[in-house]
Each structure stands twice: as structure tokens, then as C-alpha cells.
Amino acid sequence: MSIKMIAVDMDGTFLNDDKRYNRERFLNQYARMKEQDIRFVVASGNQYWQLISFFPEIAHEIAFVAENGGWVVCEGEDLFNGELRPEQYAKIVDHLITLPEVEIIACGKTSGWTLRDYDKDFHQLAAKYYHRLEHVENFFNVDDTFFKFALNLPDARLHDTMNALQQKLGDIMVPVTSGHGSIDLIIPGLHKANGLRMLQQRWGIEDNEVLAFGDGGNDTEMLCQAGFGFAMANAPDNIRALTRYHAPHNNQEGVLEIIEKALKREPPFV
């Protein structure tokens, strides 16, 4: 069975630690993907507006599963938007603002929203991941369609905070790890694998025809659903243990190395 879809996480996976990738090599591979009728999908916890900036040449002809599945865009067309009801949004915010040492971004379709009084270091960090980010006095008078919360906190508090959020808010939103010192709250069931499933149904692609790459907890469902789920060499042990296949380190163009094998139909793609 040949590969018909390639889905990539971005941070720690497709991108190196400098937030870059070998553009010339990838665009060459992408041209060959098109020749072989292989769809390319960016599946990330990041904001859609940031993701399209990495692919200016082809953003209009590929698909994006953004915000961990909260927003799915196919060839420039909205395919799906998750949405919290106003009362759910208010309950989440009421709880999150009580948590010590937690900085919050409310992720909406128009923009990300964060508090003006957070320190400048956090604002600078957030700006690297959110091309649209508004600073507001509070979270209660913001008009947008919300489908995710991103939380920044000390590493030492990550595990306990994850457990506490699951117990307190698990009926509305589910916490997943999204990287170094960060948690994403997503609507239950609206993860990356769900977004990929929508695209697969649109294009008539089976799970065993999907090649996916990831390195974090928010990639779990996607890596397990794909027939060829590759955990990165730099992924934590618990993520690597989930998958049969492993790709080289993100700083060694690991994703592009495996894509090359898929395009040439080398093992395990035979």
C-alpha cells in the first residue's frame, strides 16, 4: 500500500531548534509528492496564522490541522472549527486565572488573547508562536470563536497541574502537553487525529496510507492512528514507546530523511 498522506507536527519535528527547515530540499520533495498524488498536511498545536507563514509558496494548496485540531483548513477553505460555548469559556477562564505561575493565551479564530500585565519575557516568547496576539486587560470582554487555551508554567509544576486540570475541567477541555513547560487545553475529541480523519474522508485515504511525524503528547492520537507513525529521536521516551517507527532528530532533518524513503518506496514503505 502506497503513502497518500504525509502529516507533520512542527516544533521539535519538522522544524529544527532554530524554528527553521531546509526549504529547498522540502520544496523539491513536495513537487515529487504532487507527482505521486500524496497530500501534505501540517498538524500542529500552533496558530493557523503562524503556520501558513512557514509555507508561503504552497499554503493555498496544502491542508492545516491547526490549534491541535481546533481549526482545520484545506486548500484555503475552512473545513472545521471547534467552538466553546460562552458559559464553557467563562468556566475555564474563572478557574485558570486562579492558578499560580500560569500564564494564559486564549486561542481564538481571529487572534490569540493574553493579559497585558504578564511580564515582557512571556510576551516575547508568545510572539514567536502567535502571529496574531492581542494584549487585553482581562479575558471576559473578548469577542472571538475560542477552541483552545495555551498555558505557560514552570516545568516543576507541569505534572501536578495537568492532573488537577483533568480533574477540574476534564468534562469541558482536556489537558495535553505541547512542549517545554507548556500545556494545551483542547476540546475533548478535537485532537490532531480527528482533523486528519476529516481530511482522509474528504480525500478517500485509509489509515494505512498515512505517514505522520510527532514528538509530543499532543501527537499521541495522530501517531497511533497513522499506519506509519514516526516518533522523533528527540521525543520523550513515553512518546517513542508508542510507535513502531522512529525518525532521526529534528536537528538532523529527520522528517525529510523519512519522506525521502517514502518517495523512493524504500523500507518500510514497500
Confidence grade of residue 98 (pLDDT, cut at 50, 70, 90): very high
Is residue 149's pLDDT more than 90? yes
Average pLDDT value for residue range 26-44: 98
Q: Which three three-digit cell numbers place residue 154? A: 514552570
Average pLDDT value for residue range 126-138: 93
Per-residue pLDDT reduced to its tens digit, 151-168: 999 988 888 999 999 999
13 three-state secondary structure = helix
Is residue 203's pLDDT more than 70? yes
Do 50 and 109 belong to one domain?
no
Task: Name the domain count of the chain.
Answer: 2
Residue 270 lies in a domain: no
- Under 8 Å between Cβ of 231 and 249: no
Do 169 and 105 belong to one domain?
yes
Is residue 84's pLDDT more than 70? yes
Average pLDDT value for residue range 72-92: 95
* DSSP conformational letter for 16: -
Q: Phi then psi for 109, rounded to 5 degrees?
A: -70, -35
CA dist 15 and 260 (Å) reads 16
* 186, 212, 244 - which closes a domain: 186
Residues 6+ apart with CB under 8 A from 183: 150, 151, 153, 158, 161, 162, 165, 175, 176, 177
Confidence grade of residue 1 (pLDDT, cut at 50, 70, 90): low
Confidence grade of residue 170 (pLDDT, cut at 50, 70, 90): confident
Give the model's pLDDT for residue 270. Answer: 86
Higher pLDDT, 244 or 270: 244
User: CB atoms < 10 A from the CB of 40, how many?
Assistant: 19
**Which one of the listed residues 9, 11, 184, 219 is annotated catalytic?**
9
| % of the chain beyond a pLDDT of 70 | 99
Residues 6+ apart with CB under 8 A from 223: 212, 214, 229, 230, 231, 239, 242, 243
Q: In this predicted structure, which of 14-18, 160-164, 174-178, 257-261 has the lowest mean pLDDT?
A: 174-178
Give the model's pLDDT for residue 181. Answer: 65
Do 11 and 50 belong to one domain?
yes
Specify the CATH number for the domain of residue 103. Answer: 3.30.1240.10
Q: Is 9 a residue of the active site?
A: yes
Do 162 and 246 belong to one domain?
no
Instruction: Name the pTM for this structure.
Output: 0.91
Mean pLDDT score of the chain, rounded to an integer? 95
Q: Beta partners for 65?
A: 43, 72
SS (H, E, C) 114-160: EECCCCHHHHHHHHHHCCCEEEECCCCCCCCCEEEEEEECCHHHHHH
Confidence grade of residue 78 (pLDDT, cut at 50, 70, 90): very high
Per-residue pLDDT reduced to its tens digit, 51-71: 999 999 999 999 999 999 999
Do 94 and 69 belong to one domain?
no
Residues 6+ apart with CB under 8 A from 117: 137
Give the model's pLDDT for residue 180. Answer: 62
Q: How far apart are the first and last CA of the chain?
A: 7
* 186, 218, 249 - which closes a domain: 186
Do 14 and 46 belong to one domain?
yes
Q: In this structure, are strands 71-74 and 63-66 parallel, antiparallel, or unpaired?
A: antiparallel
Is residue 182's pLDDT more than 90? no
